[in-house]
Amino acid sequence: MTQLTTAERIALYGGGGLLLIGTLGIGLLEILAGAPHPVSGEGQIVHETLVPLTVRSSIMLLGLLLWGAYAATSVAREPPTDTSV
């Protein structure tokens, strides 16, 4: 059970936090303070957003980039010597 370095903590908590803001956080804000989300006859959600979708996309992309950076840089870390874990 290895301890996280500061950089790993930033990548994991920062990445997960941004993804949660992009999905859950902004989603909750849209429900509480935004316009209703009616579903059209074609099954599409028709609504005006409080937070522009490009901003939401960018927040989520930054979160995924931090996760990717964590995964890519973890290769440099020496894994435990026990091959059963």
Partner 1 sequence: MVTDIRTRLLGQDVSFPVDESRLAYWLVVMRLIVGWWFLHAGLDKFLAWPFDASWFVGGAAAQTTLGPILVLFSDGILLSFTNVMVPLGQTLIGLGLIVGAMTRLAAFFGAFLMTFFYFVNGETGGWSHGVITGDLLGLLIFAMIATLGAGRVLGIDAYLARTDLVRDHPRLRHFIG
Applying CB under 8 A, which residues contact partner 1? 1, 3-4, 13, 22-23, 27, 43-45, 53-54, 56-58, 60-61, 64, 67-68, 71, 74-79, 81, 83-84
User: Helix (H, G, I), strand (E, B), or coil: what is residue 45?
Assistant: strand
What whole-number distance in Å separates Cα of residue 67 and Cα of residue 56? 17
Q: At its nearest, how many Å lie between partner 1 and the CB of residue 77?
A: 8
What whole-number distance in Å separates Cα of residue 37 and Cα of residue 2? 44
Q: At its nearest, how many Å lie between partner 1 and the CB of residue 10?
A: 13
What the block records as the tokens of 57 is 């996309």
Name the amino acid, one letter, at 40.
Answer: S
Q: At its nearest, how many Å lie between partner 1 and the CB of residue 32?
A: 16
